[in-house]
A = this chain, B = another copy of it.
Amino acid sequence: MHSDESIPDMIEKKAMKATHKALCKYGYADLTMKKIADESDRCKSTFHYHYDTKENLLVNFIQYLLDGFEKRMVPETEDPLKKLNGFIDRMLFGLGDEETAESFHTALIEIRSQAPYNEKFRGQITKNDEYILHITTNIIQEGIEKGRFKNTDPKNTAIVILSAIYGARARHISTDRNATEELRTALDWILDELIVK
């Protein structure tokens, strides 16, 4: 056992993909090492060998999840409105690729549900949450500076938008309603007031 000292890339990739699949398929409460292993071509002893404990595997997984997350949410465009709308779309619906759509946010919400009871998880989630809030604020700030958005408070606006996005995702997976689509429509109404026409 070595736990953290250099896990081969191949294994790391397989472990992360398998954890992701299993987490989405069964949810955090019913996630087991066997189910994770079964989503890969490796056995559960192998994952124990490389990560020692289930918790450590999950800590690594959260990092992997959030790293990818942060990199992909902001679309490359100069137009602040396009940037904001693109960001909201990615947050609500994921990117087009099958990797992230749906399943990504499902995994994240499952992890979040466990965060209150796990300090490590909570620390990771907190850092990510602050980062996402930061970039959201920046997008709005930028829009204001470029004269495209009205002069509101960027951080408070970001907090409302981000909170609503997280809430919609939660409602989406825990009810039979299409809550993300509903919020997308509703946000258009609200954002309309933000724009300088």
Contacts and interface: CB of A to CB of B under 8 A. Distances in A.
Contacts of A152: 189
User: How many copies altogether?
Assistant: 4
Interface stretch (A4-12, A66-74, A139-147, A158-166): A158-166
B183 A163 contact: yes
B160 A183 contact: yes
B113 A190 contact: no
Contacts of A26: 117
Contact of A167 (B117, B122, B168, B177): B168
- Size category of the binding interface on chain A: 35 or more
A173 B27 contact: no
Contacts of A183: 159-160, 163
A110 interface: yes
Nearest to A185: B156
Given A112-B170, A114-B29, A167-B167, A122 B175 contact: yes
B176 A170 contact: no
B29 A156 contact: no
A130 interface: yes
Given A27-B113, A113-B109, A152-B189, A171 B163 contact: yes
Nearest to A193: B193
B190 A114 contact: no
Residue from A163, A170, A189 having most chain B Cβ neighbours under 10 A? A163
A129 interface: yes
